[in-house]
Amino acid sequence: MLNAAKTQGDPVSLNEDNLWEVPNVFDRPRYLLDDVQTSIFHIGPSNFFRAHLAKMAHDIMNKASDNNEPLNMGIIGASLRSPTIKNDLMPQNGLYCLTTKGVGVEDHEIIGSVRKIICARENAQEMITAAADPSIKIITLTVTQKGYYIGKEGLDIDHQDIKNCLDPSNPELSTLGLLAHSLNYRRLNGIAPPVIVSCDNLPNNAAKLRTALAGYAVHVDPELPAWIANNVPFPTTMVDRITPSKSENHTAEIKALGVVDSNPVLTEPMPKIPFVIEDLSEREGPIGQVFRDSGIMKFADKEIGARLSPKVGAYEHMKVSVLNGAHMALGVVGHQMGYKYSHEAMKDRNVREFVSQFMDEVIATLEPLEGTDYNKFKAEVIYRLDNEFVCDPLTRLARNGVDKVGQRFLETGKKALSHNLPSDCVNFATAAWLQYTSKLTDDGYLPSQMPAVTRQREKGLDVDLPNDEKGGAMKFPALVRDNKNAMAVIFSETTIWGQMGTEPRFTERVEEHFKDIEDDHMPSALLNFVNRDKKDFDSSPGTPSVGMP
């Protein structure tokens, strides 16, 4: 017996043979791993993927096992560069622990849907063949925006990765090369096409992938782009589940609970709408057929969590404007209140009230969306912001404002103005962002962050640069700093404001709030703001937070 010598209390090494010795605090797969057939090929097996798609595929198989249905949602993970995840998970037979923590929630589950992980660096051809295998019906991706190689004109043909990938003597495979070659293999060998599902957190993710792939495919075979266009479904998706990167504390915690897992995942409770997939099932011809036959519709089940919809953009818009909008509003306001983390700032009643009012304002501008109660979505956002286990730094929530303020604040502001709805929370949040921005260095960081950034750089490590693709935008902090009394100069930055910079109903209010924050500092300005509609509210100094209803 392999584990005969093991004494009680010793942690169990996670693998298939030891699965039944895993302590009961961990939920285990209710299906037999040996019975699982793989039909999903996933490119980029990230932590997010393991908390999201792999968890849902796992749930589908648990349910299938209960109902004696085929266990065919197994996943082959494909890592293009780093072998780390393969080296971590393959000795564990693909098993890993997924920990879910939220306010009042703590679950640990052993996920069994990832049956194999391969690495392109080790064998690119094997990977192409695996992706083209007839048993693979669904190809999913979480490769981040960088993995799409989208340039100004569709495919970024000058990108070094693409050049490498197009060079037959160079075995370095890119996402697009893998997809194009495997699709061409299917085309030439009469193998039915897969559905290709981008699960990256990008608006119009499918269109971006499809466009870049069309640009690449023509170099593989001139006939390939038309074959892809006529045969391969690319549903747009919206994805949502905050999943922090690996933490050693979490690994130690799992070990203390009795399991040795070299790469566990910690995540928040599954949101109510974690996955929306564009419904292509009604399409005529091969696109509809492939979509219906792929098994992707199994994710669209109340118990699993995804939904099918023709309006993925509306869900994306809800997420960006309500959730991400609240993130940014909380980040810039909370930081100036002196807090460090999301859950800390949310304990402050004025911050909490502001975030709540902000979301009400956003929600009023949204068009109705079938099966979606925006107020429930809002309540869930507050629950998520309260989650101390996610431990989101406010500086992370506030970063890259130059790129994000348009979608997160200004679109809501425009919509509110066009419908004569209130938009003063957006104005206040914008003013707070400008104040926050004025404190940044030209590098886009707060001075307090600079020592850590410098240390990272000295070690030669990648620094998660704010606005790393927009060098010019970094001039903005200085512009704000130098023009605190000449807001017109700030608003003339059309790349940020567009036509909102000449909209007096917006600029005048932002300017007022900016001055209030400048003169009174955030705690007092915020207190006055959240109580702006209360007539008998005494805003004189010395009485903040006293006598609040």
Number of neighbouring beta carbons within 10 Å of residue 33: 17
Q: Between the CA of residue 171 and those of 187, 188, 253, what are the distances in Å? A: 22, 22, 40
CB of 494 to other proteins, least distance (A): 4
Interface pick for other proteins out of 311, 396, 484, 515 (rule CB under 8 A): 311
The residues that bridge with 105 in the sheet, in sequence order, are: 102
CB of 162 to other proteins, least distance (A): 13
Is residue 231 within 8 A of residue 287, CB to CB? The reply is yes
Interface pick for other proteins out of 11, 313, 422, 523 (rule CB under 8 A): 313
307 binds other proteins (CB under 8 A): no
Instruction: Please give the structure tokens belonging to residue 19.
Output: 């699965």
Backbone torsions φ then ψ of 326, nearest 5 degrees = -65, -40
Is residue 167 within 8 A of residue 194, CB to CB? The reply is no
CB of 340 to other proteins, least distance (A): 31
Is residue 479 within 8 A of residue 493, CB to CB? The reply is yes
Angstrom distance (rounded) from CA 41 to CA 38: 8
Is residue 216 within 8 A of residue 162, CB to CB? The reply is yes
Is residue 433 within 8 A of residue 496, CB to CB? The reply is no
Size of the site for other proteins (CB under 8 A): 45
Tell me whether residue 59 or residue 424 sits nearer to other proteins (CB atom). 424
Tell me whether residue 284 or residue 458 sits nearer to other proteins (CB atom). 284
The residues that bridge with 267 in the sheet, in sequence order, are: 100
Of 82-90, 128-136, 356-364, 498-506: span binding other proteins (CB under 8 A): 498-506
494 binds other proteins (CB under 8 A): yes
Of 82-90, 386-394, 491-499, 507-515: span binding other proteins (CB under 8 A): 491-499
57 binds other proteins (CB under 8 A): no
Tell me whether residue 371 or residue 549 sits nearer to other proteins (CB atom). 371
Interface pick for other proteins out of 417, 446, 453, 478 (rule CB under 8 A): 417
Number of neighbouring beta carbons within 10 Å of residue 411: 19
Interface pick for other proteins out of 44, 193, 194, 225 (rule CB under 8 A): 225
List the interface residues with other proteins, window 349-408 (CB under 8 A): 406-407
Tell me whether residue 152 or residue 459 sits nearer to other proteins (CB atom). 152
475 binds other proteins (CB under 8 A): no
Tell me whether residue 282 or residue 303 sits nearer to other proteins (CB atom). 282
Is residue 348 within 8 A of residue 330, CB to CB? The reply is no
Instruction: Please give the structure tokens belonging to residue 532.
Output: 């702006």
For 341, which DSSP code? B
One-character DSSP codes across 309-335: ES-HHHHHHHIIIIIIHHHHHHHHHHH
List the interface residues with other proteins, window 97-156 (CB under 8 A): 150-155
523 binds other proteins (CB under 8 A): no
Tell me whether residue 134 or residue 498 sits nearer to other proteins (CB atom). 498
Is residue 381 within 8 A of residue 322, CB to CB? The reply is yes
51 binds other proteins (CB under 8 A): no
For 409, which DSSP code? I
Interface pick for other proteins out of 317, 352, 384, 513 (rule CB under 8 A): 317
Is residue 390 within 8 A of residue 342, CB to CB? The reply is yes
Instruction: Please give the structure tokens belonging to residue 153.
Output: 């004109």
279 binds other proteins (CB under 8 A): no
Residue 484: partners with Cβ closer than 8 Å, 6 or more residues away? 438, 514, 518
Of 21-29, 62-70, 371-379, 490-498: span binding other proteins (CB under 8 A): 490-498
CB of 284 to other proteins, least distance (A): 6
160 binds other proteins (CB under 8 A): no
Tell me whether residue 161 or residue 268 sits nearer to other proteins (CB atom). 161
**Distance from chain centroid for Cα 511:** 33
Tell me whether residue 172 or residue 403 sits nearer to other proteins (CB atom). 403
Tell me whether residue 108 or residue 414 sits nearer to other proteins (CB atom). 414
Of 79-87, 88-96, 126-134, 492-500: span binding other proteins (CB under 8 A): 492-500
Interface pick for other proteins out of 279, 316, 348, 511 (rule CB under 8 A): 316
For 49, which DSSP code? H
One-character DSSP codes across 522-545: HHHHHHHHHTTT-TT----TT-TT
Radius of gyration of the chain (CA): 25
Chain residues in the site for other proteins (CB under 8 A): 150-155, 203-204, 206-208, 210-211, 214-215, 225-226, 229, 236, 282-284, 310-314, 316-317, 320, 406-407, 411, 414-415, 417-419, 494-495, 498-500, 503, 505
